[in-house]
Amino acid sequence: MVTKYSIGSRLSGISVTHLLVILCLTLALLLLLSSSVYPLSSGSPLPDEIPQHEVKAQKKTIQQKIEETAKIAEGVPYSWGDEDLTGMDCSGFIYWLSQRVGKPLPRSTAKRYWMMLSGDGEHWKESEGGYLVWWTLTPNRPYGHIGVISKYPKFWQSGSSSGVTSRNFFDGSYWDENFVGAKDYF
């Protein structure tokens, strides 16, 4: 909107008009910023005080993203050192997946991913969707294989004999017997 002023317009009238516009814009900006960073209503949680049911809803969203994204790569053959839809190894699959679900990891190895994430790890029975999971392949490679749980007990991995595929944990299985630990990442 363009306001035209003529000779003889009162300076006080012009300044009041512009002051009101500036105040309205400032108020709108403050409301926009405050409602997106901190909720306006009293008693609303601050970002570090998110209610548990909302955290679980966010987890379900990431679980769905993991499942949908992993299905895109299902059947991609195993290829050592690679990380794309022409072929990928286990850590390449985790790298590829993390880039697409919004929580990117640097390209690394299964063992280094274990060392990057804090904590001692949990048993697969204590984990849930969004956890990275590790297995031992040989006694001298205790963190030699990595996958991700999409929805407990289902996990995805890229194996040398299977390529990218999903499996389920169950007691006494190969995946149970060779399991090393799980850590929450997503």
pLDDT digits (tens, 9 = 90+) for 71-101: 999 999 999 999 999 999 999 999 999 999 9
Q: Strand ranges (DSSP E) for the chain?
A: 83-84, 87-88, 131-135, 145-151, 154-159, 163-168, 179-184
Of the candidates 142, 123, 143, the one whose C-alpha atom is nearest the C-alpha of residue 131 is 123
Q: Which among 158, 145, 167 is positioned nearest to 86, based on CA atoms? A: 158
Q: What digits encode the pLDDT tens for the residues 86-141?
A: 999 999 999 999 999 989 999 999 888 888 888 888 888 888 888 999 988 888 88
How crowded is residue 142: how many other Cβ atoms within 10 Å of its Cβ?
A: 16
Structure tokens at 11: 């300076």
CB hemisphere CA count around 112 (13 angstroms)? 10
What tokens were used for 186? 């997503």
25-41 residue pLDDT tens:
665 555 555 444 434 34
Joined tokens for residue 52: 């548990």
The pTM (predicted TM-score) of the whole model is 0.65
Domains and CATH numbers, the chain: 1-49 (no CATH), 51-184 (3.90.1720.10)
Round to whole Å and give the CA distance between 28 and 48. 26
CA angle 102–131–93, rounded 5-degree value? 60
Stretch (H or E) spanning 17: helix 11-37
Which pLDDT band, with edges at 50, 70 and 90, does 174 fall under? confident
pLDDT score recorded for residue 125: 84
